[in-house]
């Protein structure tokens, strides 16, 4: 990979919780989605300060422990003032109880970080409505632009429109 030739080994992390382990002949033919590897991300933006990074990690660690997951945290510098965090919940989608725990862990972590002022830079459809609980004019404008460019709602359904994404937390 350091030579600019990806080999698929980076996909091994997606299989972390999969009871079946890595597929035969990994990494050839690896497909985490088809192999039911569950991944949920909470992606807060935070100031480029050690105290904030430690606070986010400190908030996240007990939540992961409570729900029985390993905390995978990555913090990347966006610019000279900002970090982007990625807190990954890896789970086995073949296990319904683990899937439910993963979703509950995500919800608890998402709500905790939002309440602490660490707003995500990106969310999945399950959290789109959480970005606009009060009908902000920004999202109304985004909806009008999306409706004008995509009147049939074909492109990215459920995305970039909190009002149509369903109730918060779903």
Mean pLDDT value of segment 38-66? 96
Joined together, the tokens standing for residue 17 give 């919780």
The total domain count for the chain is 1
**Percent of the chain with pLDDT strictly greater than 70:** 90
150 lies in a domain?
yes
Task: With beta carbons less than 8 A apart as the criterion, state whether 102 and 133 touch.
Answer: no
Quick check: helix, strand or coil at residue 84?
strand
Nearest residue to 16 via CA among 118, 97, 110, 93 = 93
| Residue range 110-119, pLDDT digits in tens | 999 999 999 9
| Structural domain containing residue 152 | 127-170
**Percent of the chain with pLDDT strictly greater than 90:** 53
- In angstroms, rounded to a whole number, what is the distance separating the alpha carbons of residues 84 and 47? 9
153 lies in a domain?
yes
25 or 87, higher pLDDT: 87
- In angstroms, rounded to a whole number, what is the distance separating the alpha carbons of residues 102 and 96? 10
Mean pLDDT value of segment 7-35? 86
């Amino acid at each position: 990979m350091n030579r600019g030739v990806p080999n698929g080994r980076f996909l091994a992390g997606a299989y972390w919780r999969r009871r079946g382990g890595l597929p035969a002949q990994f990494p050839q033919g690896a497909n985490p989605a088809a192999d039911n590897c569950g991944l949920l991300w909470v992606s807060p933006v935070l100031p480029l300060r050690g105290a904030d990074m430690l606070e986010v990690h400190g908030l996240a660690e007990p939540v992961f422990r409570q729900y029985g997951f390993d905390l995978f945290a990555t913090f990347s510098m966006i610019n000279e003032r900002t970090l982007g965090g990625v807190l990954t919940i890896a789970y086995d989608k073949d296990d319904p109880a683990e899937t439910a725990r993963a979703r509950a862990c995500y919800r608890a972590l998402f709500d905790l970080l939002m309440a602490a002022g660490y707003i995500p830079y990106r969310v999945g459809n399950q959290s789109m409505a959480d970005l606009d609980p009060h009908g902000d004019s920004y999202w109304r404008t985004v909806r009008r632009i999306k409706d004008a460019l995509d009147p049939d709602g074909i492109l990215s359904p459920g995305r970039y429109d909190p009002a149509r994404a369903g109730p918060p937390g779903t």
